[in-house]
């Protein structure tokens, strides 16, 4: 073999190796690398609204639902529920004093949410057991429900109500209808537990696939009808909220979290967030990480602020 031939072989091998490294690097960068970033996350909250007391009434901040409201994925003081009520010791400078305790001097908190729970359990074990509150108590209820109904058991068991992963659109129809009736009943029961009035801040369900429906790279099986069923659940949540406009206020976490899931580094995606191209989820896709909980806190707080400052600043 001549030296020229050997040199050509070496060049081909080097070129092949470089191309392979480039492909592997691109796959890692765009699909497998999920950086969480640092610093605040989510929209700005109007700080001026927290300059004076909203109401001197007795107020209960009540959490209902699944692991999102239970705070899984965040440090204890950094869960969205905890940060709604009070600022943690290491709060971001722009958010110091921007919490419910600053404007509601007679605030109490109770969080009934349970990690891993589904909407059937929320109805039976949380809402059905709510005690009747005194007439001088105003309820502020934050609620996340339905997410686990869709994703459990990640295809490990055949689809069923409350664990729908892998279901066809046809299979899911009665379960979607059942969820709507159940959610509507829960809203009525919660409101009935607060004769002195309440406001329910109901979140819709985020999508860790950022609208792509693809999660194979994290080991989950394909699910052709998954996004369609997810959309139907969010439509149910929106319809139920619309039926109770004086009591229920939709918190759109779905839109805010798009671009912060599995495709957060894929700059060609429609929901790419150049200003914060980072992953807002925990080690598992069900729950937000610390920065995701910061964003949730802000989304809920913006809606709570809107309602309270427009309706209750002059409440007795």
pLDDT tens profile 53-96: 999 999 999 999 999 999 999 988 999 999 999 999 999 999 99
Residue 314 is predicted with a pLDDT of 46
Closest CA to 231 of 251, 256, 204: 204
pLDDT: which is higher, 2 or 129: 129
What topology is assigned to 34-311 in CATH?
A: Rossmann fold (3.40.50)
**Two structure tokens written together for 85:** 């009520």
Percent of residues, the chain, with pLDDT higher than 70 = 87
Per-residue pLDDT at 316 = 38
pLDDT at 286: 86
**Of the listed ranges 32-41, 95-104, 178-187, the one predicted with least confidence:** 32-41
C-alpha separations of 243 from 91, 196, 250 in Å: 37, 20, 11
Annotated domain spans of the chain = 34-311
Six-digit token string for 161 = 């109500």
Is the full-model pTM beyond 0.85?
Answer: yes
Residue 14, pLDDT score: 61
């Amino acid at each position: 073999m001549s030296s020229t031939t050997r040199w050509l072989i070496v060049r081909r091998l080097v070129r092949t190796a470089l191309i392979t490294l480039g492909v592997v690097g691109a796959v890692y960068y765009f699909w497998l690398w999920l950086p969480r970033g640092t610093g605040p996350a989510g929209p700005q909250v109007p700080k001026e609204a927290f300059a004076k007391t909203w109401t001197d009434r007795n107020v209960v901040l009540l959490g209902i639902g699944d692991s999102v409201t239970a705070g899984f994925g965040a440090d204890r003081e950094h869960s969205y529920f905890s940060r709604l009520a009070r600022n943690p010791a290491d709060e971001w400078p722009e958010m110091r004093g921007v919490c419910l305790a600053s404007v509601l001097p007679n605030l109490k908190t109770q969080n009934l949410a349970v990690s891993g729970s589904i909407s059937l359990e929320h109805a039976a074990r949380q809402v059905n057991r709510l005690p009747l509150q005194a007439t001088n108590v105003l309820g502020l209820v934050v609620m996340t429900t339905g997410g686990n109904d869709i994703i459990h058991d990640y295809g490990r068991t055949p689809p069923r109500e409350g664990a729908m992963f892998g279901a066809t659109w046809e299979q899911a129809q009665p379960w979607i209808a059942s969820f709507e009736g159940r959610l509507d009943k829960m809203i009525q029961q919660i409101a009935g537990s607060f004769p002195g009035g309440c406001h329910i801040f109901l979140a819709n369900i985020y999508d860790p696939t950022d609208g792509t429906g693809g999660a194979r790279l994290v080991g989950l099986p394909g699910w052709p009808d998954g996004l369609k069923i997810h959309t139907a659940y969010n439509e149910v949540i929106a319809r139920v909220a619309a039926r109770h406009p004086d009591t229920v206020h939709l918190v759109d976490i779905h839109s805010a979290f798009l671009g912060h899931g599995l495709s957060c580094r894929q700059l060609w995606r429609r929901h790419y967030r150049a200003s914060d191209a980072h992953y807002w989820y925990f080690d598992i896709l069900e729950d937000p990480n610390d920065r995701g909980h910061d964003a949730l806190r802000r989304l809920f707080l913006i809606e709570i602020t809107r309602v309270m400052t427009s309706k209750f600043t002059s409440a007795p």
